[in-house]
Chains A and B, each alone.
Chain A
């Protein structure tokens, strides 16, 4: 009441001056086109004795001031635009570049227009040119790096020389930060950065903050709080805060704070959260009840946001959650740990990993997997890697190999590598080989390579690989042991024999020439007799054997007469004759004798087999005496040391005179010093 009375007195004293001012004011406002009706009402109010505004009434004086402010600003803008329009074409059309003085003046005018536009008073500058330039630099830095504090710090650090005049000015006049510097910083966020990071900026710019005298720092702190206050409650709101209606005032503060926070949450969440933190600061809002309301309201709104986002953009929820935590905001009442886990799982399950986004996904995994229990986190990682293994497994393995190997274990990687290897193999064996060679060393690539090749089940694949130079190279370097490879191929042969001879024969024929075919031949022959011994009942042996070999004689013969056949081979085949039973023997003998060019190769048989075969041929009368003579000569040539036995075997069919025998012996002794093969005289 006292205030009201004193104001009234003041108005009486100044009534004349007041009328003049009102009149001037009306004229000025009139020039801005404010409607006369409205002005009449406002005028009535101004002329009345009521000195208080009724905030709930019809009059809207604050609105009027805003309206005037806006109109004036618009007019200013319009006029600046026209000024620019005038000055800008001069260079375009006038080519002032040749007249440096005029060009400079033009540049100065443009700069001055710019400053006027930014609100600087170029007639009576508040700051020295250096400080003014510093402010412009800071303005620029803030607007360029508004969403990234770290970048801003870096930029400030690198521009510290340009900022020194301003910072020195602020050092000496910290209070001026509010009244002079801040209004020159263009937008609200930039201003807040400046306030919040005041001491950081000072430090980055090379000012020793600790060494600043205590008074200056106290003033600076005071300034900060003051500015926060200014930012949180602009002028109009401040008036409301001064109102005596406590309930209304409190509701306003809560609503206002939440509006400000939520208004920024989409575009600049860090800013919004810093406002929230500020609003919970006792030094900013002293009333505990209000702070509690703000907290409740904030949590409700965040919960709403999370509910809205979790099904469509779960990663945004996680991002928001992380930010809340970083800002030390208690999230317990916003989202439970279990729900957060579901959102995290959902986020990753909805994401498709590819070569474009895999790095981003791994980063997200590293950041957000902490929201999950260990085994779930592992499951998600497995899924990501399995998904990625389709196209970018090698990349993924090399990228995070060590870390994930530790988490997932070797078997996991072995499994997905095996799967991928099979896919490659389906394309071609060479692709599979290439894949093996590209595996990072840390994945035990050689081991995979080796075991995969040995594990090949497909004849075509193995043949392609055997013909590849890469494999030869590996065999030569002893990376892959020939013996193991051959063993693997033999296994394949055995399987092939079970399923049909034709493919086996084809395979045998397609094996590269430098491959040890003899070993394979031996294996095949052994397999024949092994099958006989183990599988055939004695009674049916003969018939079954005949059937069994009916389609295999070709290959047996092929192998027998092969240039690779050696004594071991012959020994194996001899066993076949010996063990095969009468029916088989006879069929084979018939087959052999039918082929004249193979006849002499019988000489390779061991003596037991040769005798048995001789007896069968004689009993069946399959060969003529001349043919027996041919075989005898071949035997003698092949194993002269066995001449005594040959003479005994062939005595009924081949006439061997004593002279011939003696000549043969003489020949044998003559060559005694030479290297004679005595190996196989079973």
Chain B
């Protein structure tokens, strides 16, 4: 295996991860919207907290 092939392999992995990141961001956005639409204040606060933790961690 030559270096171009090696690099391509690794780049392929990275690209797939990048793709995953984009998908993940969209999912987070959908989760956020879902949280916003929850009227129950108490529940919303709780979810909001989880969401914040999530954003900090990811």
Set B3, B13, B20, B37: member contacting A68, Cβ < 8 A = B13
Q: What 1/0 mask marks residues of chain A from 1 to 17 whose CB sits below 8 Å from any chain B CB?
A: 00000010011000000
The chain B residue with its CB closest to the CB of A115 is: B23
B14 touches A28 (CB 8 A): yes
A79 interface residue, CB < 8 Å from B?
yes
* Given A93-B43, A102-B37; A83-B1 close (CB under 8 Å): no
* Given A76-B20, A83-B28, A83-B31; A69-B13 close (CB under 8 Å): yes
A64 to B27, CA, bound (A): 31
Interface residues of B in 2-44 (CB under 8 A from A): 2-4, 6-7, 9-11, 13-14, 16-17, 19-20, 22-24, 26-28, 30-31, 33-35, 37-38, 40, 43-44
A82 to B52, CA, bound (A): 12
Give 10 new A-B contacts, CB below 8 A, not counting A51-B3, A68-B10, A69-B13. A18-B7, A25-B11, A28-B14, A65-B9, A65-B10, A83-B28, A83-B31, A87-B31, A90-B35, A90-B47
* Given A75-B17, A83-B31, A90-B34; A46-B1 close (CB under 8 Å): no
Tally of contact residues, B, Cβ under 8 A: 38
* Given A72-B17, A121-B19; A65-B35 close (CB under 8 Å): no
- Where chain B touches its partner, the secondary structure class is helix
Q: What 1/0 mask marks residues of chain A from 112 to 129 whose CB sits below 8 Å from any chain B CB?
A: 110010000111000000
Q: Cβ of A7: which chain B residues have Cβ within 8 Å of it?
A: 2, 4
Q: Cβ of B13: which chain A residues have Cβ within 8 Å of it?
A: 65, 68-69, 72
A427 to B46, CA, bound (A): 75
Q: Cβ of B10: which chain A residues have Cβ within 8 Å of it?
A: 25, 28-29, 64-65, 68
The smallest beta-carbon distance between B10 and chain A, in angstroms, is 6
Set A68, A90, A99, A113: member contacting B27, Cβ < 8 A = A113
The smallest beta-carbon distance between A34 and chain B, in angstroms, is 10
B31 touches A94 (CB 8 A): no
The chain B residue with its CB closest to the CB of A93 is: B43
A10 touches B54 (CB 8 A): no
The chain B residue with its CB closest to the CB of A42 is: B6
B23 touches A122 (CB 8 A): yes
A87 to B23, CA, bound (A): 15
A89 interface residue, CB < 8 Å from B?
yes
A172 to B47, CA, bound (A): 47
Interface residues of A in 94-143 (CB under 8 A from B): 94-96, 99, 102, 105-106, 109, 112-113, 116, 121-123
The smallest beta-carbon distance between B32 and chain A, in angstroms, is 9
A46 to B47, CA, bound (A): 47
Kindly list the 3 A-B residue pairs having the minimum CB-CB distance in the complex, ordered from nearest.
A94-B43, A51-B2, A46-B3
A123 touches B28 (CB 8 A): no
A22 touches B7 (CB 8 A): yes
The smallest beta-carbon distance between A420 and chain B, in angstroms, is 72
B37 touches A82 (CB 8 A): no
Q: Cβ of A116: which chain B residues have Cβ within 8 Å of it?
A: 20, 23-24, 27
Q: Cβ of B1: which chain A residues have Cβ within 8 Å of it?
A: 53, 61-62, 239
A328 interface residue, CB < 8 Å from B?
no
Interface residues of A in 365-390 (CB under 8 A from B): none
Set A45, A87, A94, A123: member contacting B19, Cβ < 8 A = A123
A102 touches B11 (CB 8 A): no
A113 to B37, CA, bound (A): 20
B24 touches A86 (CB 8 A): no
A45 to B19, CA, bound (A): 29
Q: Cβ of A514: which chain B residues have Cβ within 8 Å of it?
A: none
A507 to B19, CA, bound (A): 101
Q: What 1/0 mask marks residues of chain A from 21 to 64 whose CB sits below 8 Å from any chain B CB?
A: 11001001100000000000000011000011100000001101
A539 interface residue, CB < 8 Å from B?
no
A29 to B4, CA, bound (A): 16
A25 touches B47 (CB 8 A): no
* Given A82-B57, A106-B34, A109-B34; A94-B47 close (CB under 8 Å): yes
Set B4, B14, B57: member contacting A11, Cβ < 8 A = B4
